[in-house]
Amino acid sequence: MRAAAPYVVAAMALLILLMAEQLSYRRKKGPLPGPPLVVPFFGSIFQLIGDPAAYWDSLAARAKESPMGLSADYFLGRFAVFIRDAELTHRVLANVRPDAFHFIGHPFGKKLFGDHNLIYMFGDDHRDLRRRIAPNFSPLALSTYADVQQRVIVSHLRRWLRDASDGERRKKKPFLLRLPCRDMNLETSQTVFVGPYLAAAAREEFARDYNLFNVGLMAMPVDLPGFAFRRAKRAVARLVRTLGDCARQSKARMRAGGEPECLMDYWMQDTVREVDEAAANGCSPPAHSSDDEIGGYVFDFLFAAQDASTSSLCWAVSALASHPDVLAGVRAEVAALWSPESGEPITAAVMAEMRYTQAVAREVVRYRPPATMVPHVAGEAFRLADGYTVPRGATVFPSLYEASFQGFRDPAAFDPDRFFSDERREDVAFRRNFLPFGAGAHQCVGQRYALNHLVLFMALFVSLVNFQRHVMKGCDDLVYIPTIAPKDDCAVYLEQRCAELPLF
């Protein structure tokens, strides 16, 4: 009996711990719908990783049944609250501060994204950095980027048409658009953000590291050698160093009087002036001006732009293919304002006249917001709704996706007229439910750039390419990679529509 005593004690201690875990979960859950009991420590993590779409749908379904629009769950020792209600989502996004909610971007993002990151900043520090970033998205800067975007888009369209033609001749297979879109967006982001400062060899290494980062985002957060999360973490460190070196080169070029060619240049113009003035006055360099810091912040931009744009482009193609009337409207508007035979890129002034195409872009991101949720952690207990207080340390998931299907007329329909019709003006009537770019202090600073990219892509794609969707059952079901994309990777048949693709 004495020999068995330690095992009995250990078993009883484990049982007490398990009971305490269940009681803690039940206390935090309170009146919210959610599992009555949870798997010790792991909770629902295997469902989340195995089938993210089904997992989030189940949380949304529970929240829809709740009068508060909330549901609860638990994974990897963390209590979680899913927020379906659009107004409660606004309440979280409007209270990002040390004593309320902390934006984390990913449940384990602080380990993954590195030290210098917009995601984890608050208050005056955050406002100062956004002030410095503002010139990167001025009308002049956006016009510069538009020329770059179009050159990259057309070069990739030429490649897609060649590859699709070869594939169809061999096996009549459709062209899977998601990964080519991702490659195109990665090149676009690299060229727009750091332009001449990333050599060809560095771009290849950059693409490999970014792929490691993407894989790690969807993997178990095991920070040990041999695991995808550790590989992703190391890849991020290399990416940030590379981008920091780009900042160093841009500073030197701006000091020498060079004209801005990329986002980094527009940023460094004012930065080098402030750094040099501080040095002349014997002061320390201003905050957020070191190469490593800037490299980390530019990585934030890259993360925000890369997969979100890939998602939007795929959903745009899918929506245009399944709505011939919308496709015809975009083609007619673009043809009236721009011709491939002009040999000139679409200007900012012309793009501003593409009101219907812009409405389609807004409807694409409403109908399928790329980043469906924006995870936050409660720094302190926060009374979110009458009858429920989010406990300290809980992870909350405000759903931008669910908000997009509230308030709008016939929200499950893809209908660009809601943003185009002067009578309907749903963008005004339901603006608080239009949340694909978030809200509050951390609202996406590059949303105009993202919408411009989508408008330019659609304008060029429908003008230069004839396309047909390879329709199969479930092809447009959602998959998380980590943003949402069509389940079939947006399979299409492509053929050239104009005599010659333009050379910009």
Q: CA–CA separation, 367 vs 365, rounded Å? A: 6
Please give the torsion angle defined by the CA atoms of residues 344, 349, 352 and 356, in that order, rounded to the nearest 10 degrees: -40
| DSSP assignments along 382-403, one per residue | EEEETTEEEPTT-EEEEBHHHH
> What tokens does 37 get?
């009991």
From the centroid of its chain, how far is CA 348? 24
Q: CA–CA separation, 355 vs 481, rounded Å? A: 31
Taking residue 78's Cβ as centre, other Cβ atoms within 10 Å add up to: 16
| Residue 444 labelled as part of a binding site | yes
Strand 388-390 relative to strand 382-385, pairing: antiparallel
Q: Is 467 helix (H, G, I), strand (E, B) or coil?
A: strand
Q: Do 219 and 234 touch, CB atoms closer than 8 A?
A: no
Provide the residue count of the chain. Answer: 504
Q: CA–CA separation, 161 vs 469, rounded Å? A: 15
Q: CA–CA separation, 213 vs 216, rounded Å? A: 5
Q: Do 263 and 192 touch, CB atoms closer than 8 A?
A: yes
Q: Half-sphere exposure of residue 253, counting CA atoms within 13 Å on the CB side?
A: 20
Q: Apex CA 173: angle with CA 170 and CA 176, to 5°?
A: 130
Q: CA–CA separation, 476 vs 320, rounded Å? A: 13
Burial of 15 (0-12, 13-18, 19+ CB in 10 A): exposed
> What tokens does 69 get?
């629009």
Q: CA–CA separation, 118 vs 110, rounded Å? A: 11
Which amino acids are annotated as binding site for heme, given as ranges? 444
Which amino acids are annotated as binding site, given as ranges? 444
